[in-house]
Amino acid sequence: MIRALLFDMDGVLADSEPISMTVGAEYFRSLGFDTDSSAFEGNLGAGDRVFFCDTAEALGIRDFSYDDAAAYFRKRYPEVVQGRDIALPGAVDIVRSAQKAGIMTAVASSALSWKVRENIRAIGLSESDFDVIATGDDVRRSKPWKDIYELCLIRLGVDGSDAIVFEDTIAGIESGRSAGCRVVSLMTTIDGEMAGMAGADAVISDLSAIPSFSSPGELEHIISDFSGKGHGTVYGANEIIPMEMKMPHSFIIERAKRVAREAWENAYAPYSAFKVGAAVLSAATGRIYPGCNVENSSYGATICAERNAITTAIAAEGTIGIDLLVVCSDDDPPAPPCAVCLQVIAEFARPDTEIVLCSIKGVERHFTLSELLPNPFIFPTMRH
């Protein structure tokens, strides 16, 4: 699930690069070098040191002092940016949408802290609009190293796979990818082909391409539209891309029944003597996972067969979509899943997911999840 959006600043949220280049060229002219903004073009997105030092080298400036350039920049940049709105299209809206959707936000910019904070103001937001602000002052190794994005993830307490990075440079895309995040590249600085080659998962013109959203699920849909990967199928609180099952349906049911029956043998039920076996068919892989009830001296610590099968599947695959569930017991009529299990099944299944109840004596009943649990609860931010 998308839990955090990590934004590069320059060229993503703020159109600050023209201002940086104007001030930079102004500085080199003050040293007597006739130059303009274009001198900086290859040196964007990797921090202020690269911005100045590499450009100075390209211009053949011998006794260049970075400290002197930085001091000039520190004084002039705020004066030049003052009173301008440098927000790029869609920048403010996406931050507001994320706040509404309960998604955390961070700025991850290689620029110096003072400049990042200056730019946040110049796009019409405040520092408190972001959960984390990481800058070039916080890391030693600039993008394309993964350090700045990794730092954001640590501070947010979020896994890379639950974060989306918005970038506009090759170094930035590589940095986000190395930190394990999905990266959406803007075409404010590089074109779509370059972004794709650098490893961007999706390419958009600028942030205004992302319409407003109010849940992580909605944003997931929007992003997968751009990544061209297409939508999966909604299984409860999750979207899964199901594989095409090549075997006949009746054959799959027979296999799942056998797995459930074998698990039934293994049930640990010395208190109730009511053994239950279950089998879950994972939609994405076609694999079948077993579960049995496991009772406990402290009765309430007992786990049912269905939940055991589901958690076993998740431990093996990560989030699953359930295409079929078989429950096996020595009951007549065969026992249905309890209400707690139905709620857990609903988290990972479709309303029409088939639930087959069978007894050891061979009685078999077929239901859909919606017949057994017509109104499952799905947490608001997880609804698709």
- Under the rule (CB under 6 A), what is the footprint of ligand THU? 269, 272, 274, 276, 293, 295, 302, 304-306, 337-338, 341
As a 3-state breakdown, the chain gives helix, strand, coil percent values, each rounded to 5, of 45, 20, 40
Distance CA 212, CA 221 (A): 12
Distance of closest approach, residue 277 Cβ to ligand THU, in angstroms: 9
Distance of closest approach, residue 269 Cβ to ligand THU, in angstroms: 5
Catalytic residue flag (residue 79): no
Closer CB to ligand THU, 116 or 310, in the complex = 310
Distance of closest approach, residue 274 Cβ to ligand THU, in angstroms: 4
Nearest to 31 by CA among 61, 76, 70, 74: 61
Distance of closest approach, residue 233 Cβ to ligand THU, in angstroms: 25
DSSP states of 253-277: HHHHHHHHHHHHHH-B-TTT---EE
Closer CB to ligand THU, 154 or 338, in the complex = 338
* Secondary structure letter of residue 14 according to DSSP: B
Distance CA 186, CA 39 (A): 22
Distance of closest approach, residue 366 Cβ to ligand THU, in angstroms: 17
Residue 211, classed as helix, strand or coil, is coil
Closer CB to ligand THU, 273 or 315, in the complex = 273
Burial environment of residue 82 by CB neighbours within 10 A (0 to 12, 13 to 18, 19 or more): exposed
Alpha helices of 241-376 — where are they, by DSSP H?
249-266, 305-317, 339-348, 369-372
Per the listing, tokens 């070039």 go with: 136
CA 235, chain centre distance (Å): 18
Catalytic residue among 17, 167, 306, 354: 306
Closer CB to ligand THU, 24 or 337, in the complex = 337
Beta strands in the chain, from DSSP E residues, in sequence order: 4-7, 104-108, 132-134, 163-167, 182-186, 202-204, 233-235, 238-240, 276-282, 288-292, 322-329, 349-359, 364-368
Closer CB to ligand THU, 223 or 304, in the complex = 304
Closer CB to ligand THU, 82 or 296, in the complex = 296
Distance CA 201, CA 198 (A): 9
Closer CB to ligand THU, 288 or 341, in the complex = 341
CB 187 within 8 A of CB 166: no
* Secondary structure letter of residue 375 according to DSSP: S
Distance CA 69, CA 63 (A): 12
Distance of closest approach, residue 302 Cβ to ligand THU, in angstroms: 5
Q: Provide the pairing of β-strand 349-359 with 322-329.
A: parallel
Distance of closest approach, residue 278 Cβ to ligand THU, in angstroms: 7
Q: Which residues are catalytic?
A: 306
